[in-house]
Amino acid sequence: MIDILLRDLRQPEYVHVLINQLPLLGLAMGCVGLIIALLLRSRAANIATLVIILISAAAAWPTYEFGQKAYNPVLTMVDEHGQAWLDVHKARAEQFIYYFYGLAVLTAVAIVAPIKWKKTSVPLAIVVLLFGGVVLGMGGYIGYAGGKIRHREFRNEPPPPLKSPTPESR
């Protein structure tokens, strides 16, 4: 049994599916917690929820990396529509991954800056909350396409066409 688990953990597509919800669900829970922390005016709760947001945003990096490594193996497993959705999923991830990194950096600043400048705690937490909501929406947009790759029951529309790069952007 352990041998099977260890074998599965060497497959990037397995690891990607295993961890791909952490950036979304963790970020959603962190944002809800941060709202509560702000309402309670609790610096300790503020820090705890900012740490959850930081971990969740940073978790987008391994999710993205394992997804990139899983592209070719998954491409061979899926039908034509699944391949189209895989391309859309990949393009969206490549387009929005840097916002997750930015959120992680902003959240780290929101944790550390109030140590020296106490009055920055609430404004920074509000900025993290607003940006976190935007990034959460981006993550949902990425995941929406990802869910349609292997799940035909979720394909209630054809995949959107990928925009070809213009000669000027190459």
pLDDT digits (tens, 9 = 90+) for 17-72: 888 999 999 999 999 999 999 999 999 999 999 999 999 999 999 999 999 998 88
Q: Tell me how far apart the alpha carbons of residues 162 and 164 are, in angstroms, rounded to a whole number.
A: 6
- pLDDT at position 8, please? 66
Q: Tell me how far apart the alpha carbons of residues 81 and 95 are, in angstroms, rounded to a whole number.
A: 21
- What does the mean pLDDT of the chain come to? 89
Provide the pLDDT confidence category of residue 170 given band limits of 50, 70 and 90. Answer: very low
Question: Model's pTM, two decimal places?
Answer: 0.86
- pLDDT at position 82, please? 84
**pLDDT over 70 (residue 157):** yes
Q: Tell me how far apart the alpha carbons of residues 45 and 37 are, in angstroms, rounded to a whole number.
A: 5
Largest pairwise CA distance in the chain:
55
Q: Tell me how far apart the alpha carbons of residues 135 and 97 are, in angstroms, rounded to a whole number.
A: 9
